[in-house]
Amino acid sequence: MPLDYRIAIVGAGPAGLSVAGRAAIYDAETGASTPSYVLLEGHTTFAKTIQKYQKGKHVMDEPGFLQLRSEVPFAAGKREEILGAWDNSIGGGLNVRYNAEVVGIEGEKGNFTLRLASGDSVTAENVVLSIGTQGNPRTLGVDGDAESDFVLYTLDDPEDFKGETIVVVGAGDAAIENAIALSDFNTVYIINRRGEFSRAKDGNLNAVLAAINDRDRAFHCRYESSVAAVELPDAPGETGAIVLNTPGGEERLECHRIIARLGTVPPRRFVESCGIEIGSASADAVPDVDRHYQSNVPGLYVIGALGGYPLIKQAMNQGYDVVEFIHGKDTRPADYPLLQDQFSGLPYVMDAEDILELYQQRVPMFKRMNPLAFRELIIESRITVSLPAEELARAPQGGERSTVFVAAGEPVYRNGEFSTTFFTLVEGEVRLQLEQDGPWHQIKPGQFFGEMSLLSGRPRQGDAIVERDSILIETPRRVMVKLMNSNEEVRQGIDRVFIMRALQAAFRPAMSLEELALVADQVQTCQFAAGEVLFTEGETGDCLHLIRSGTVVLSQGGTELVVAQLHSGELAGQMALMGAPLRRNTATAAVRTETLRLGREQFLALVNSEPEHISTLQGELSQLLQYTNSMASQPEAARSIGFLMEQGMGEATNALVIDTSLCVGCDNCERACAETHDGISRLDRESGASLASLHVPVSCRHCELPHCMKDCPPDAIRRAASGEVFITESCIGCGNCETNCPYDAIKLSYSAPPKPGLWSWLLFGRGSGPGEPAGFTPTAESKDVGKKAVKCDACMGRPGGPACVRACPTGAAIRMGPDQFVELVEAR
């Protein structure tokens, strides 16, 4: 008995429509009398997810670097316009069957039977699943989170709500779009459990940052916050509340309703009932498919959001490609030319798709990734090949995305550099130090390195030297943050290696990696908000803390008397496990801090494996005791250090401090700053806090983990290898860095007009002369360009160093890092 169709398509979303559109073209070309395909939709209309978008929503066509391959049209525009264009395509003759919910798929390639909820069945040679995941929203996960008038998981029309306080939970595109639309008529809070909007499309990222920074809009963001509880209203129409865990502690927000946009989870039960395998147990896991989107069941394809491809353009391209493959054409994906360029300089001839598959299988971390996420990671990364120095000159020079060549035997980074790129080794070997002058470790293919600085914000510890004929994937920080935020398995894998290497750097254990991993699995990761106490003076200690990121201050006899400051990679509280369990100090997080907590059992396992290192640990502890005793005998110096920590200087790497006993108020520092930076000073000397003769003016501190880098849409804020944080020409003036900086060190400004020449100023009095305040009026040109962010760049690359320090006639201005604070206060 002949089958009904060659292709049965399940789900009439963008991907399914694209499949049907391409299949219809083949029917037209062959003059088929009946359709060779059928598009089965379980509801009464097509694209039900987009039908549920809020009215007037702007639908984006990202990623911008991809061309659309589809007979069904799609371009960025309003929801209504896009749906209208698709309705026209369906009216043009697509074979769609509505109210045809598929409840089961059985059979094999060439003979599938699709059972419908109505009791009917459809037979087909091939099946394409494009059902998406929107029917399975992720919930808040607390009591009271069931969908109700107070807790919603969708938003049809933002204009239904006016004059309310609404909390939107989520940081993806849907959450951002809902929150912005609602803020036209309501007070809105958006809750982001991460430190940045790493999952948002560029357009939405720009929009939410603009809303947060718009002082005329009642739009507020809570970063690094999670939902602790929901308090339902006592009666309809009354307010309830949402309770948040924030870096500053618990916060309760009264509100009229909560809209949770936390993404969706795949319909796993249905998918697996069709025989399709899902390799991971994670709730977010999607089916495993090959490069042609074919599942482990031959002839059964998975495309669109269900396959991990949530963007409309990607899903529609897949729909086109699947039909091509079914008809015997091995069509390359739309991003194939980009990958070809990425791999153009590799020392072997292989198809780009084969290389991609090889690298994903070679690196355990990459195996945990969805194929789309891996493709995007490669496209956003840099492929680096090491060659002997004599061969570098003959290496091919390609385009911006082409393979990069470096000299073998040279460091890819050096000790003390400020850089946060993440390296994955796919071929060859890298020699790695975990601390300056420390032992060398061998990095083999499939392993990664660079995670210590990525996660801690501290400079590189030790060198990393690449051997000849090695191939590296160098991934930017923003891409890695996005990956870690979206893939829990990858985040956990990187985190585990971080812990193991941090233990190796601190204790140098003579253990196998398997033994070290067992210890690492017992180590507890702790988070402390600024001002939170790790342990208290006088209590009995049973653990130590290895600082992972941030700064911890030790104080005696009160939190104002600071006797030491400790940074990432250093130990706090080790004396409790080395013979004196009574705590001598109170340990407090100076800024948001993460630590690794080791109990006695883990500590003994590490030190007993390498007895020779115990003397080093004892020597470091002895130095710390001498230092704290010295500071305790100088209460004024201890109070001064405490004051500097209160001003956030614990996270600084290059801060400006002024000794007011020497300062004469000449403001040469500000004038020199303006002269050096095109007429705009980056320094406000008079503002800022003071204690005794110490003054901390408003100026960039070049933080370890710069707040200003968070959610910079064009990635315009960078860090030099020498540590300076600076703003590039790609700044778009969104103001997010100004809002995120807790020290008011960034401002938006129009560009200043060029200063007149010396003779023009001397002879004709035009403009402001050397050392005079600019006081400029922006030109029409600069107003057209708009304001851009300006901040101190520590006069990066300028001979003589920072102009503010060089211009101070009395030596009152000093730039320094936390390690030098003690010398400063002791000198006074």
Q: For residue 386, is pLDDT > 80?
A: yes
Q: What CATH number corresponds to the domain at position 377?
A: 2.60.120.10
Q: What is the mean pLDDT of residues 652-663?
A: 89
Phi, psi of 77 (to 5 degrees): 170, -175
Q: What is the mean pLDDT of residues 575-589?
A: 92
The one-letter amino acid code at 234 reads: D
Beta strands in 600-708 (DSSP E): 655-659, 684-691, 694-698
- Regarding whether 763 and 691 lie in a shared domain, the answer is yes
Cα distances (Å, whole numbers) of residue 198 to 89, 313, 712:
35, 20, 10
Give the residue among 10, 570, 592 at the shortest CA–CA distance from 276: 10
Q: For residue 582, is pLDDT > 70?
A: yes
What per-residue confidence (pLDDT) applies to 776? 59
- Regarding whether 356 and 249 lie in a shared domain, the answer is no
Query: Secondary structure of the chain: what % helix, strand, coil (to 5)?
Result: 30, 25, 45
183 is a domain residue: yes
What per-residue confidence (pLDDT) applies to 241? 94
Considering only residues 176 and 768, tell me which one the structure prediction assigns the higher pLDDT.
176
CA 494 – CA 13 distance, rounded (Å): 36
Percentage, residues of the chain above pLDDT 70: 94
- Regarding whether 799 and 691 lie in a shared domain, the answer is yes
State whether residue 423 is helix, strand or coil: strand
Give the residue among 270, 448, 305 at the shortest CA–CA distance from 367: 448
What per-residue confidence (pLDDT) applies to 147? 86
Q: Burial code of 424-458, b = ≥16 C-beta within 10 A, e = fewer?
A: bbbbbbbbbbbbeebeebebebbbbbbbbbbbbbb
What per-residue confidence (pLDDT) applies to 770? 47
The one-letter amino acid code at 15 reads: A
572 is a domain residue: yes
Q: Give Cα 513 distance to the centre of its chain.
A: 29
Average pLDDT, the chain: 86
State whether residue 460 is helix, strand or coil: coil
Strand pairing category for 5-10 and 121-129: parallel
Among 600, 633, 666, the domain boundary falls at 633
Contact 129, 305 (CB under 8 A): no
What per-residue confidence (pLDDT) applies to 764? 46
Considering only residues 29 and 60, tell me which one the structure prediction assigns the higher pLDDT.
29
Domain range enclosing 345:
338-507
The pLDDT confidence band at residue 761, using thresholds 50, 70 and 90, is very low
- Regarding whether 84 and 24 lie in a shared domain, the answer is yes
Among 260, 278, 302, the domain boundary falls at 260
CA 790 – CA 41 distance, rounded (Å): 54
Question: Which range, 236-250, 572-586, 693-707, is most confident?
Answer: 572-586
- Regarding whether 699 and 739 lie in a shared domain, the answer is yes
- Regarding whether 255 and 271 lie in a shared domain, the answer is no
- Regarding whether 324 and 420 lie in a shared domain, the answer is no
What per-residue confidence (pLDDT) applies to 205? 85
What is the per-residue DSSP string for 355-405? Answer: HHHHHHHHSHHHHTS-HHHHHHHHHHSEEEEEE-HHHHTTS----TTS-EE
When mean pLDDT is compared across 286-290, 407-411, 588-592, 752-756, the lowest value belongs to: 752-756
The pLDDT confidence band at residue 634, using thresholds 50, 70 and 90, is confident
Q: For residue 239, is pLDDT > 90?
A: yes
Q: Who contacts 421 (Cβ-Cβ below 8 Å, separation ≥6)?
A: 450, 454, 474, 475, 476, 477
CA 384 – CA 406 distance, rounded (Å): 7
Q: What is the mean pLDDT of residues 174-191?
A: 92
Residues across the chain: 828
What per-residue confidence (pLDDT) applies to 424? 95
Contact 95, 35 (CB under 8 A): yes
Q: What is the mean pLDDT of residues 18-31?
A: 95
Contact 78, 57 (CB under 8 A): yes
146 is a domain residue: no
What per-residue confidence (pLDDT) applies to 180? 92
285 is a domain residue: yes
Q: What CATH number corresponds to the domain at position 245?
A: 3.50.50.60
CA 661 – CA 796 distance, rounded (Å): 28
- Token pair belonging to 39: 């598009």
CA 668 – CA 647 distance, rounded (Å): 24
Residue 615 CB: number of other CB atoms within 10 A?
9
Contact 330, 347 (CB under 8 A): no
What per-residue confidence (pLDDT) applies to 758? 43
Query: Which region, left, alpha or beta, applies to residue 733 given φ > 0 means left and ψ of -120 to 50 means alpha?
Result: left
- Regarding whether 362 and 301 lie in a shared domain, the answer is no
Largest CA distance in the chain: 101
Say whether the peptide bond before residue 63 is cis (omega within 30 degrees of 0): yes
Question: Which range, 192-206, 253-267, 439-453, 683-697, is most confident?
Answer: 439-453
Cα distances (Å, whole numbers) of residue 715 to 154, 248, 740:
31, 27, 15
Q: Who contacts 769 (Cβ-Cβ below 8 Å, separation ≥6)?
A: 755, 758, 761, 762
Among 206, 233, 260, the domain boundary falls at 260
Q: What is the mean pLDDT of residues 132-139?
A: 73
What per-residue confidence (pLDDT) applies to 818? 74
- Regarding whether 599 and 500 lie in a shared domain, the answer is no
Contact 402, 341 (CB under 8 A): yes
What per-residue confidence (pLDDT) applies to 762? 42
What per-residue confidence (pLDDT) applies to 168? 96
- Regarding whether 483 and 531 lie in a shared domain, the answer is no
SS (H, E, C) 262-306: CCECCCHHHHHHCCCCCCCCCCCCCCCCCCCCECCCCCEEECHHH
Q: Burial code of 282-302, b = ≥16 C-beta within 10 A, e = fewer?
A: eebbbbbbeeebbbebebbbb
Residue 822 CB: number of other CB atoms within 10 A?
21
Contact 15, 49 (CB under 8 A): no
518 is a domain residue: no
466 is a domain residue: yes
Question: Could you give the number of structural domains in the chain?
Answer: 5
513 is a domain residue: no
What per-residue confidence (pLDDT) applies to 9? 96
> pTM here?
0.69
142 is a domain residue: no
What per-residue confidence (pLDDT) applies to 473? 95
What per-residue confidence (pLDDT) applies to 502? 92
Which residue's structure tokens are 């340990």? 587
pLDDT in tens, 521-530: 999 999 888 8
CA 211 – CA 220 distance, rounded (Å): 8
- Regarding whether 365 and 326 lie in a shared domain, the answer is no
The pLDDT confidence band at residue 826, using thresholds 50, 70 and 90, is low
What per-residue confidence (pLDDT) applies to 653? 85
Percentage, residues of the chain above pLDDT 90: 41
Q: For residue 696, is pLDDT > 80?
A: yes
The pLDDT confidence band at residue 591, using thresholds 50, 70 and 90, is confident
- Regarding whether 616 and 540 lie in a shared domain, the answer is yes
What per-residue confidence (pLDDT) applies to 54? 65
